[in-house]
Amino acid sequence: MKYSIKDKITNEKPTVELTDTLTVTVNNSFRKVLAMQEKLRSDEFNSDAEKMVSVLECLLDKKDVKAINDMDLPFDQYLAVVKTIIAAATGQSIETVEDRFQQAVNN
């Protein structure tokens, strides 16, 4: 028996439209997603805010991280950006990512 998945492998990167003028490309490679997951489990950060910045730095180009940080968003909106970037990187729905965040907060 022969198997083929060549039509499923595109290496296309997802994008997230944040504003009318800012669309970011998310690096969803296995290596980057694994690094992001390790960062989220890590104890090296002093705050959840540091973790969020680290996630963005792992999955986005430096110029995109700077553009997001330059927006000076309120915390809840910055968190929404991070959740959406994680959803794009992992191929999950935003709702699934939000549920996981909520479970992490409750534990």
For residue 82, the model assigns a pLDDT of: 95
> Cβ atoms within 10 A of the Cβ of 99, count?
12
Indicate if the pLDDT at residue 11 is higher than 90: no
How confident is the model over 17-22, as a mean pLDDT? 97
For residue 106, the model assigns a pLDDT of: 72
Rounded Cα–Cα distance for residues 16 and 79 (Å) = 14
For residue 102, the model assigns a pLDDT of: 83
| 78 conformational bin, left if phi > 0, alpha if psi -120 to 50, beta if neither | alpha
For residue 44, the model assigns a pLDDT of: 77
Instruction: Record the pTM.
Output: 0.87
How confident is the model over 8-14, as a mean pLDDT? 91
pLDDT in tens, 24-74: 999 999 999 999 888 878 777 777 788 889 999 999 999 999 999 999 999
Q: Which residues of 53-84 are buried (b: 16+ CB within 10 A; e: fewer)?
A: bbbbebbbeeebbebbeeeeeeeeebbebbbb
